[in-house]
């Protein structure tokens, strides 16, 4: 594969050189419509674009065609196998064809692996064929086109502009991709579990699905109260609430102090140091929460006579709160800074002290922006994964007591998808349904946050 890419690039450079050379030759007698290098670029693009598209199609198609091909030639052997057996067989022979041999393969598996290798060689040949064919056609076309009156620069720029336009569409593509991948698997999941049971169920016990899949018969009655999202929601909101309890007062007061009181030097030092908190990877916070915060809280609880779980929501929530401080503080700082000076001056002129001005004038006028920043922080807390995965419990628990173990949506997504992932089991598929819920929740929060911030900005612009 590496060599095919290399060949392609070498060929496209040759195309560039040939195109340029021909136009230079022409320009010795007459003046050309464009600079010679543009004729070269045109040849290069004519080679690169079709081959890259063809190559991508081949790459994507390879797996599909390969499986169809294997089915066709190994039909008589595969017909007696069940769906999952066939999948397992394919995985095994694929590994075998890549050289991962255990020495105990059956003749059928060896045959399959051999066929895969043959097929892949054929495909490689096809790739090269496409590359050379396209190059030949492109060179022929460009060669025919090059003439003194031909404006190659215009063509090149058209292609470039189309290309960068397509690049900007990738953002839409990613969103669509997220949406489709979540929705498809969620629909599969709802084939096993009633959406209403999922959304309003108060029992979360996905291991029930694990027990049944050995018998290959899905008993929907058992699944009825295995996948209720309510306990996860309360857990998520509880952790987020605890995080906000830490980050809102600390973040907001820091922002107020740094924006209104602090001398420039303290501000210049403190701001970046607080921002460090936002730059630390979340896995570090998770480690810290699980190893330092949780035991300390458990010790403290024991000291004052409370029974605190070592996987309590408190440890995860407090640590997350620390992580979110800089989000709240820097966003609020921006908003407070945007309040016009005239409002402050007016308040001072009426005899108000600085703190009275802040509380009664600045904060009310900055309120929409500050609330927007809170909403953004909440959406951050809900979507945060590593801290809760490492510090919170796996046990779903319908409670609002922060001292008891709780689990969250993100934790359950991770548990569902790490380890063995079989996509014909509601236990795995539920991760996508949870993901979709999370996606919508954060989307809504962000929408409202951005709208409030925007509205507020317009007020003073």
Partner 1 sequence: MTNLAKRKKAELRFRFYGIFSVFLSLLFVAILIFNICSSGIGGFYKTIFLTSIHFDQKLLNLEDNASEEQIRNASFRKLIKNSFDESFKDYSKDEIKQIKKLFYRKIDIELKNFLINNPEFLNKTTKVELTASTHIDQIHKGNFDRTVQEKHRKVNNFQLEIYDKFVEDQKVKKVWNSTYFTSGDSRDPEAAGVASSVKGSVFTILICFLLSFPIAIFASIYLQEFAKAGKITDLIEININNLAAVPSIIFGLLGLGILLNFFGLPRSTALVGGIVLSFMTLPTIIVACRSSLRAVPPSIREAALALGATKNQVVFHHVLPLAMPGTLTGTIIGLARAIGETAPLLMIGMVAFIMDIPSNPLEPAVGMPAQIYLWSESSERGFIEKTSSAIILLLMFLIVVNFVSVYFRKKYEKKW
List binders of partner 1 among 160-189 (CB under 8 A): 160-161, 163-165, 167-172, 174-175, 177-178, 180-182, 184-185
The three-state secondary structure class of 312 is strand
Task: Scan residues 46-65 and list those touching partner 1 (CB under 8 A).
Answer: 60, 63
Cβ at position 388, least distance to partner 1 in Å: 10
* 368 phi and psi angles, rounded to 5 deg: -55, -45
**Least distance between partner 1 and beta carbon 133 (Å):** 25
Stretch that binds partner 1, among 132-140, 208-216, 353-361, 399-407 (CB under 8 A): 353-361
According to DSSP H, which parts of 350-425 are helical? 354-357, 363-383, 386-391, 409-417
Residue with tokens 């989307």: 443
Closest separation in Å from C-beta 137 to partner 1: 26
Query: Which of 74-82, 121-129, 393-401, 430-438 is the region at the interface with partner 1 (rule: CB under 8 A)?
Result: 430-438
Using rule CB under 8 A, residue 113 touches partner 1? no
The long-range contacts involving 202-205, CB below 8 angstroms and separated by at least 24 positions, are 202/228, 202/230, 202/231, 202/398, 203/228, 203/231, 203/396, 204/228, 204/229, 204/230, 204/231, 204/232, 204/396, 204/407, 204/412, 205/396
Our CB check for partner 1 shows the closer of 44 and 182 to be 182
- Taking the least distance from each CB to partner 1, the nearer of 100 and 136 is 100
Do residues 457 and 338 make contact, with C-beta atoms less than 8 angstroms apart?
yes
Q: Taking the CB of residue 391, how many other CB atoms lie within 10 A of it? A: 29
SS3 426: helix
Task: Quote the CA–CA distance of 325 and 336 in Å, as a whole number.
Answer: 16
User: Segment 376-405, which members bind partner 1 (CB under 8 A)?
Assistant: 376, 379, 382-386, 389-390
Length of the chain as a residue count: 461
**Nearer of residues 135 and 373 to partner 1, judged by Cβ:** 373
Instruction: Please say which residue, 199 or 414, places its beta carbon nearer to partner 1.
Output: 414
Q: How far is the CB of 179 from partner 1 (least distance, A)?
A: 9
Q: Does 450 bind partner 1 (CB under 8 A)?
A: yes
Q: Which residues between 250 and 309 bind partner 1 (CB under 8 A)?
A: 250-251, 253-254, 256-258, 260-262, 270, 273-274, 276-277, 279-284, 286-288, 290-292
Size of the site for partner 1 (CB under 8 A): 87
Q: Which residue has tokens 């689990």?
A: 407
Residue 356 in contact with partner 1, rule: CB under 8 A? yes
């Amino acid at each position: 594969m590496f060599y095919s890419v290399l060949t392609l690039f070498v060929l496209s450079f040759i195309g560039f050189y040939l195109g340029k050379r021909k136009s230079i030759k022409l320009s010795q007698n007459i003046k050309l419509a464009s600079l010679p290098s543009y004729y070269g670029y045109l040849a290069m693009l004519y080679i690169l674009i079709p081959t890259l598209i063809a190559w991508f199609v081949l790459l994507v198609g390879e797996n599909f065609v390969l499986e169809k091909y294997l089915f066709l030639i190994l039909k008589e052997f595969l017909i007696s196998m069940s769906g999952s057996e066939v999948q397992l067989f394919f995985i095994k022979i694929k590994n075998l064809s890549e050289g991962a041999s255990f020495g105990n393969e059956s003749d059928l598996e060896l045959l399959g692996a051999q066929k895969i290798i043959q097929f892949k060689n054929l495909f490689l040949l096809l790739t090269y064929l496409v590359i050379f064919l396209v190059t030949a056609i492109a060179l022929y076309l460009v060669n025919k086109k090059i003439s003194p009156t031909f404006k190659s620069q215009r063509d090149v720029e058209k292609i470039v502009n189309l290309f960068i336009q397509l690049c900007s569409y990738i953002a839409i593509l990613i969103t669509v991709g997220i949406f489709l991948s979540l929705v498809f698997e969620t629909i599969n999941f709802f084939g096993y579990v009633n959406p209403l049971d999922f959304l309003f169920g108060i029992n979360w016990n996905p291991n029930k699905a694990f027990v049944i899949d050995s018998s290959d018969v899905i008993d929907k009655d058992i699944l009825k109260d295995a996948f209720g999202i309510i306990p996860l929601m309360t857990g998520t909101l509880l952790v987020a609430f605890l995080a906000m309890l830490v980050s809102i007062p600390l973040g907001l007061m820091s922002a107020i102090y740094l924006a209104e009181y602090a001398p420039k030097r303290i501000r210049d030092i403190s701001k970046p140091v607080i921002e460090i908190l936002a730059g630390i990877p979340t896995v570090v916070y998770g480690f810290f929460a699980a190893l330092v915060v949780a035991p300390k809280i458990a010790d403290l609880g024991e000291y004052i006579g409370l029974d605190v779980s070592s996987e309590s929501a408190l440890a995860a929530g407090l640590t997350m709160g620390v992580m979110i401080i800089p989000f709240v503080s820097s966003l609020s700082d921006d908003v407070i800074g945007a309040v016009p000076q005239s409002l402050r001056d007016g308040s001072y002129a009426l005899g108000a002290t600085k703190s009275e001005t802040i509380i009664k004038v600045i904060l009310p006028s900055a309120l929409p922006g500050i609330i927007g920043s809170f909403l953004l922080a909440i959406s951050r807390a809900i979507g945060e994964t590593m801290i809760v995965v490492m510090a919170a419990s796996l046990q779903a628990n319908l409670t609002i007591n922060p001292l008891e173990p709780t689990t969250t949506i993100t934790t359950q997504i991770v548990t569902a998808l790490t380890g063995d992932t079989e996509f014909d089991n509601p236990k795995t598929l539920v991760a996508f349904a949870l993901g979709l819920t999370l996606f919508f929740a954060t989307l809504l929060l962000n929408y409202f946050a951005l709208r409030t911030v925007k509205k507020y900005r317009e007020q003073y612009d």
